[in-house]
Amino acid sequence: MPVLVVAMSARKIKDNAADRHNLMMKWETLNDNGFSIANKIVNIKNATQFKDSNLEIEHEDPSDSERLPLNYNTELEHQLNITHIEARIASPGLL
């Protein structure tokens, strides 16, 4: 009878190891996607700042300072938010 218990424990250990491996691979993919999206957002913001500095536009209206740049890509920011949510779902203890 003890052999059966050990065999079941070994199976649980293998399943647990496989689950952990799959979660690590999923985390790595989500992490790569998140960094890629964040990099795109930074590049877009840098490009708009560069264009703004070349144009030397002055804003006198305080409401203009709260507006997003014309080239601001809300889709990229949305993708970044989705990636964060997926990462929390995939491994809630890590975040």
Q: Residues 53, 54, 59, CA angle at the centre, nearest 5°?
A: 50
Give the model's pLDDT for residue 17. 94
Q: Residue 1: pLDDT above 60? A: no
Q: Residue 82: pLDDT above 90? A: no
Mean local confidence (pLDDT), 50-64? 57
Identify the burial level of 91 via C-beta atoms within 10 angstroms of its C-beta, where 0-12 means exposed, 13-18 middle and 19 or more buried: middle
**3-class DSSP assignment, residue 60:** coil
Q: Which of 94, 93, 68, 78 is nearest to 33 (CA)?
A: 78
**3-class DSSP assignment, residue 20:** helix
Say what the pTM is.
0.44
